[in-house]
């Protein structure tokens, strides 16, 4: 056999060997694929999907106002709600009582002038004067909320109570208030004691009780429908 013939046979044998190796690789891949597919099928049938579930999840895509697609955020926004405490009237007054137990000796009059023993002149009297001993308890005429307490050089120390429905009551001549602004009070609750009223100092001790309805002075007895004993 010549050298050329020998080389041709050698190259042919190498090609055959390469083809055989390639065929073996293909068979091995096929067997491996079949085995893996069989295993996945078994795991899926048994309900155990842990090994076949992908580790990544596709996020929904939206478009922003510019038309550019963007992924939605996976972080939920945390909303903090601040609740402010509020003081409200516990119960709008449905009935009223006389604030002190004395008798009315000077009535409300927004038309006729009445004589003032202190100023020695005639003037309107936009409230009722209820006689009482110095220090006697003054009571809230109805349910409501204390909106103001102030010292007035004309009417003395005054406690203001919002009784609801547009009714604001002014208790003037209170010596020692026992309530504070924003306190919610009930009808009959003590709010202080009888003191002095500078503009009515010449009169006997009393409570000057005046009422506004929708910001207009009104007769407390008539407006509040107070029954006098």
pTM: 0.61
**Would the pLDDT of 89 be above 80?**
no
Tokens of 30: 């096929």
CATH number (domain holding residue 109): 2.70.70.10
24 in a structural domain:
yes
- The reported pLDDT for the residue numbered 145 is 97
Task: Name every residue whose Cβ is closer than 8 Å to that of residue 211 and which is 6 or more positions away in sequence.
Answer: 127, 167, 168, 169, 170, 217, 218, 219, 220, 223, 224
Do residues 227 and 171 lie in contact, with contact meaning Cβ atoms separated by under 8 Å?
Answer: no
Are residues 120 and 48 located together in one domain of the fold? no
85 in a structural domain:
no
- The reported pLDDT for the residue numbered 11 is 53
**Would the pLDDT of 194 be above 80?**
yes
Are residues 110 and 218 located together in one domain of the fold? yes
pLDDT band at 229, cuts 50/70/90? confident
- The reported pLDDT for the residue numbered 92 is 83
Are residues 131 and 46 located together in one domain of the fold? no
| Average pLDDT of every residue of the chain | 76
Considering its fold, how many domains does the chain have in total? Answer: 2
Are residues 29 and 138 located together in one domain of the fold? no
pLDDT in tens, 12-50: 555 566 666 666 757 666 555 455 444 444 444 444 433
Are residues 110 and 215 located together in one domain of the fold? yes
Are residues 124 and 39 located together in one domain of the fold? no
58 in a structural domain:
no
Are residues 184 and 114 located together in one domain of the fold? yes
Are residues 44 and 132 located together in one domain of the fold? no
Are residues 130 and 25 located together in one domain of the fold? no
Are residues 30 and 135 located together in one domain of the fold? no
88 in a structural domain:
no
Range of the domain at 218: 104-223
Look at 40 and 212; give whichever has higher pLDDT. Answer: 212
Are residues 150 and 219 located together in one domain of the fold? yes
Rounded Cα–Cα distance for residues 218 and 17 (Å): 120
Tokens of 51: 């090994």
Query: What is the arithmetic mean of pLDDT over 183-208?
Result: 96
Kindly write down the DSSP assignment for every residue of 129-190, as one continuous string. Answer: EEE--TT-EEE-SSSEEEEEEEEETTTEEEEEEEEETTEEEEEE-BSS----TT-EE-TT-E
228 in a structural domain:
no
């Amino acid at each position: 056999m010549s050298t050329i013939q020998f080389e041709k046979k050698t190259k042919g044998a190498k090609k055959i060997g390469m083809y055989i190796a390639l065929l073996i690789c293909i068979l091995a891949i096929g067997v491996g694929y079949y085995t893996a597919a069989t295993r996945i099928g078994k795991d899926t049938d048994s309900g155990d999907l842990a090994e076949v579930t992908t580790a990544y999840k596709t996020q929904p895509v939206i478009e922003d106002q510019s038309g550019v697609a963007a992924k939605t955020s996976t972080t939920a926004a945390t909303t903090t709600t601040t609740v402010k405490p509020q003081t409200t009237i516990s119960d709008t007054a449905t009935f009223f009582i006389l604030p002190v137990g004395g008798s009315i000796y000077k009535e409300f009059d927004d038309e006729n002038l009445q004589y003032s023993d202190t100023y020695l002149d005639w003037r309107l009297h936009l409230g009722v004067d209820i006689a009482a001993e110095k220090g006697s308890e003054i009571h809230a005429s109805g349910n409501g909320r204390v909106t103001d307490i102030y010292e007035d050089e004309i009417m003395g120390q005054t406690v203001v109570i919002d009784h609801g429905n547009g009714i604001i009551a002014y208790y003037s001549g209170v010596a020692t208030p026992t309530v504070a602004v924003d306190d919610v009070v009930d009808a009959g609750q003590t709010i202080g004691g009888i003191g002095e009223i500078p503009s009515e100092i010449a009169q006997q001790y009393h409570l000057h009780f005046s009422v506004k309805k929708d910001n207009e002075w009104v007769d407390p007895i008539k407006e509040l429908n107070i029954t006098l004993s």
